[in-house]
Amino acid sequence: MVLAQQILFLAIFGTACWLIYQRVTLISRTIRLGKAEDRLDQPSRRLSTMLRIAFGQKKMFDRPVVGLLHFVVYAGFLLINIEVLEIVLDGLLGKHRILAPLLGGFYTVLIGFFEILALGVLLACLLFLVRRWILKVDRLQASRHREMNGWPELDASVILILEIVLMIAILSMNGADLALQRLGSSHYTPTGPFLISQALLPIFTNWNEANLILFERIAWWLHIVGILGFAVYVTYSKHLHIALAFPNTYFAKLTPMGTMQNMPEITGEVQAMLGLPTDNPGQAAVVPDRFGAKDVSDLSWKSLMDAYSCTECGRCTSACPANMTGKLLSPRKIMMDTRDRLEDLGRNMQQNGGKVVDDGKSLLGDYILDEELLACTSCNACVQECPILINPLDIILQLRRYRVMEEAQAPASWNAMFQNLETNQAPWKFSPADRFNWASGRSS
């Protein structure tokens, strides 16, 4: 019987690892569709940013209550999964609580600590469900934000319910284990009472040994299979940010948010026209295949990593002044649309031997509309609000550059402004010599 369980466990564990490997490989390949960009400078500053923002959850605590709940779930789930190491070893070796004899009395203390965290995660997830289902926080509602319709809204609830089930499984498993220890069951190593699950002992009063073993084994399998299933599910979910938040914050921009990256090709042309020294004197300007971005392959790899890292929390959209005034723009939707395009291209590669075959679609037009791009004021509010330093504005700017520079599809008001900037060095249609007439009370 033990051998059969070992074989079954090995099969489930191996399948989960293979599925995760396949999925991670595909995500990595789709991110590499983006353009090269050097983000390896200032490693010490980048490491500091990652530790503060991703590990320390600094920006989450801008809203203290939600930040605390999120930290409990985040830290609790990560630390509780240390116990998964023991469960994996038990499953592979056919043992039960293999670390208990090695750690002695400290083992009970450690399990008690894990149980406190498990209870915290359970309660925090319940409160998050209350916020979604009862309090109906505006930025999380599909009725208010069209990008949350269907799967995105369901995904958030599924993950919270799954975490609650996993925490109940681990606590009830420990409670049944304690009851079996008191019965002197041979397979269950005496450990002493566990801090939280010992409160469940009255539930198991008058249970016979066979029923207790059955319940404990069901809870054990539910917990480990649930953990492995969770790990696979996360790679398809917005909760991929659990892993990607760390590299995403490490490779975040280090320049001030208001700094826009010029196009080197255009900068060189302007410098040459004005007689200014160029960055690469004596070298002919390299004309890019495309100005701006029409599809994800025209964006940087970091923008594509941003898309996969998006938590769909909606803080960016709730802070967007264009969205507040009823415009179509939602920075969250920009990131979700970019990820949807990457997912479509990932399936495209799978169906065509690892190569992308033209499907007649592009990010601009088929996923993101001109109306969304034109509504953006470039204020960086979305960048400021993101808890893991995602930058929707980079994508918006590149898509707008394509429309203006490649297709000459700028609004008439923009063209007038561009002309004024060229002729008058200001957005307004009057001579630079008359710019300060207002100060003397004269009108031009």
Partners of 368 in the beta sheet? 364
Alpha carbon distance 37, 144 (integer Å): 36
pTM of the model: 0.90
Q: For the segment 301-348, what is each residue's pLDDT rounded down to a tens digit?
A: 999 999 999 999 999 999 999 999 999 999 999 999 999 999 999 999
The predicted model gives 135-140 an average pLDDT of 93
367 CB-side CA count, 13 A: 24
Q: How confident is the model at residue 396 (pLDDT cuts 50, 70, 90)?
A: very high
CATH fold for domain 292-407 = Fumarate Reductase Iron-sulfur Protein; Chain B, domain 2 (1.10.1060)
Residue 31 in this model has a pLDDT that exceeds 80: yes
Q: Which helix (H) or strand (E) holds 392?
A: helix 392-401
Going from N- to C-terminal start, the domains of the chain cover 2-31+40-250, 292-407
CA distances from 402 to 265, 329, 359, 397 (A): 14, 18, 20, 9
Residue 41 in this model has a pLDDT that exceeds 90: yes
Record the tokens describing residue 410, joined without a space.
């700028």
Alpha carbon distance 367, 295 (integer Å): 10
What is the reported pLDDT for 239?
A: 92
4 Cβ neighbours under 8 A, 6+ residues apart: none
What is the reported pLDDT for 286?
A: 63
Which 8-state DSSP code applies to residue 277? Answer: P
Alpha carbon distance 172, 77 (integer Å): 17
CB 6: neighbour CB atoms within 10 A?
A: 16
Residue 444 in this model has a pLDDT that exceeds 60: no
What is the reported pLDDT for 181?
A: 93
Nearest Cα residue to 332 out of 58, 148, 158, 160: 148
Percent of residues, the chain, with pLDDT higher than 90: 73
Q: For the segment 148-199, what is each residue's pLDDT rounded down to a tens digit?
A: 999 999 999 999 999 999 999 999 999 999 999 999 888 888 898 999 999 9
Burial, 384: exposed, middle or buried (Cβ in 10 Å; 0-12, 13-18, 19+)?
A: middle
Residue 47 in this model has a pLDDT that exceeds 60: yes
| Cα separation of the two ends of the chain | 95
Q: For the segment 214-243, what is each residue's pLDDT rounded down to a tens digit?
A: 999 999 999 999 999 999 999 999 999 999
Residue 441 in this model has a pLDDT that exceeds 70: no
Alpha carbon distance 50, 134 (integer Å): 34
Q: What is the mean pLDDT of the chain?
A: 91
Q: For the segment 254-294, what is each residue's pLDDT rounded down to a tens digit?
A: 999 888 888 877 777 777 777 777 766 656 556 677 889 99
What is the reported pLDDT for 281?
A: 63
Top-confidence residue, 137 or 439? 137
Judge contact between 155 and 238, C-beta under 8 A.
Answer: yes
What is the reported pLDDT for 277?
A: 76
Record the tokens describing residue 374, joined without a space.
């034109």
Residue 431 in this model has a pLDDT that exceeds 90: no
35 phi/psi in degrees, rounded to 5? -70, 150
Judge contact between 164 and 350, C-beta under 8 A.
Answer: no
Is 300 strand, coil or helix?
A: strand
Q: For the segment 192-221, what is each residue's pLDDT rounded down to a tens digit?
A: 899 999 999 999 988 999 999 999 999 999
389 CB-side CA count, 13 A: 25
Residue with tokens 């004024």: 420
What is the reported pLDDT for 264?
A: 77
